[in-house]
């Protein structure tokens, strides 16, 4: 059984590779249709995607997933590896 995030409505997720390469740089795609990266390697992108996934699993009630992703990206600046995001708004 697949576990969803707290307070998230049940729905069917289409599984595909979340980590992808574009122009020699690695990114990962979130459920919120946000591409996060670039990373130097596939391993780095997979590792960071896993970290973000764990953060989102423990999302406090009432906090939006987009806010957690925003903080994740902003924190990358203080770590010395600034990330960019590409959002597909629906």
Residue 47: the pLDDT is 93
Facing residues of 35 across strands?
29, 86
Closest by Cα among 17, 19, 33 to 66: 33
Whether the Cβ atoms of residue 49 and residue 28 lie closer than 8 Å to each other: yes
pTM summary value? 0.71
User: For 45-86, how does the pLDDT look when each residue is reduced to its tens digit (9 = 90+)?
Assistant: 999 999 999 999 888 888 889 988 888 888 888 877 778 777
User: Other CB atoms closer than 10 Å to residue 52's CB: what's the count?
Assistant: 19
Eight-state DSSP code of residue 88: -
pLDDT of residue 14: 47
pLDDT of res. 90: 46
Task: Read off the pLDDT of residues 19-39 as tens digits, 9 standing for 90 and up.
Answer: 999 999 999 999 888 999 999
């Amino acid at each position: 059984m697949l576990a969803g995030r707290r307070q998230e409505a049940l729905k069917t997720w289409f599984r595909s590779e979340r980590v992808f390469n574009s122009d020699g740089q690695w990114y990962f795609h979130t459920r919120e249709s946000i591409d996060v990266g670039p990373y130097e390697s596939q391993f780095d992108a997979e590792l960071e995607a896993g970290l973000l996934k764990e953060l989102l699993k423990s999302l406090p009630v009432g906090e939006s997933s987009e806010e957690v992703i925003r903080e994740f990206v902003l924190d990358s600046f203080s770590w010395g590896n600034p990330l960019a995001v590409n959002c597909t708004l629906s």
